[in-house]
Amino acid sequence: ETGVTQTPRHLVMGMTNKKSLKCEQHLGHNAMYWYKQSAKKPLELMFVYSLEERVENNSVPSRFSPECPNSSHLFLHLHTLQPEDSALYLCASSQALNAETQYFGPGTRLLVL
Amino acid sequence: GQNIDQPTEMTATEGAIVQINCTYQTSGFNGLFWYQQHAGEAPTFLSYNVLDGLEEKGRFSSFLSRSKGYSYLLLKELQMKDSASYLCAVIDDYKLSFGAGTTVTVRA
């Protein structure tokens, strides 16, 4: 248990659906991250938030929309996804933004049909 | 761009030692992390090296040579529960760049 929780753990959605992934950290951290992990590929950084402000949007398609309402919660809103978006989506948090150890949640396994 | 290389798979026997190498070429460097990830679970932090040399933590040790762009993770006295993927990651400011991971299988 890393102190970072994610829901749902598994999600199957059609290409026309809208769904949201939720991440919550119980560590009092100020920075939160979304990563995508595809099979046999390195984790890819998607978004970074520090003190609820987005500091990084790593060329992610607009069909992925992040939201950080407070420093403990992070959402990833999904709409009109493609089958190639099927992957494990990992949330992480760190105490601060610079070169700090990041702690990961268990991820949401997403399948887009 | 960032380029981080590590072997895809390694197999070892219970009780043995395994060394997982990682080489990197990155535009910036503020340290190197090793994470362990069991199938279907979160990556968990193992080690962080920012200075050259060996960091030992129980059965796991991590080494860094910044001039060579090289690190290794050493797993001693392997146990069945050590079967997992091991991820090498370089941090530049706040951005973590990962290798594809090394799947270690421990056999009885």
Q: Is B96 on the interface with A (CB under 8 A)?
A: yes
B81: helix, coil or strand?
helix
Name the residue with higher pLDDT: A17 or A33: A33
Confidence of residue A40 (pLDDT cuts 50, 70, 90): confident
pLDDT per residue as tens digits for the range A41-80 = 899 999 999 988 888 877 899 999 999 999 999 999 999 9
The beta-carbon contacts of A23-28 under 8 Å, at least 24 apart in sequence, are A23/A73, A23/A74, A23/A75, A23/A76, A23/A91, A23/A105, A24/A72, A24/A73, A24/A74, A25/A72, A25/A74, A25/A91, A25/A93, A25/A103, A25/A105, A26/A72, A27/A3, A27/A93, A27/A95, A27/A103, A28/A95
pLDDT at A39 over 90: no
| Mean pLDDT of the B91-98 span | 90
- What is the pLDDT at residue A16? 87
- What is the pLDDT at residue B43? 93
pLDDT per residue as tens digits for the range B31-42 = 999 999 998 889
Q: Are strands A4-7 and A53-57 parallel, antiparallel or unpaired?
A: unpaired
CB contact under 8 A, B101 and A42: yes
- What is the pLDDT at residue A67? 96
Q: Which residues of A touch B40 (CB under 8 A)?
A: 106, 109
- What is the pLDDT at residue A99? 64
Q: Which residues of B touch A102 (CB under 8 A)?
A: 45, 96
Compute the mean pLDDT over every residue in chain A, rounded to the nearest whole number. Answer: 93
pLDDT at A1 over 80: no
pLDDT at A10 over 90: yes
* Gap from A99 CA to chain B (nearest CA, Å): 5
* Gap from A63 CA to chain B (nearest CA, Å): 22
Q: Is A70 on the interface with B (CB under 8 A)?
A: no
Name the residue with higher pLDDT: A56 or A7: A7
- What is the pLDDT at residue B19? 98
| Mean pLDDT of the A86-94 span | 96
Q: Measured on CA atoms in the order B26, A100, A94, A41, is the torsion positive or negative?
A: positive
| Mean pLDDT of the B83-91 span | 96
Instruction: Please say whether the beta carbons of A54 and A68 come within 8 A.
Output: yes
Cα separation, B106 vs B20, in Å, equals 13
Q: Closest CB to A99: pick one of B44, B94, B100.
A: B94
Q: Which residues of A touch B35 (CB under 8 A)?
A: 104
Task: Please write down the HEC assignment for all residues of A23-90.
Answer: EEECCCCCEEEEEEECCCCCCEEEEEEECCEEEEECCCCCCEEEEEEECCEEEEEEECCCHHHCEEEE
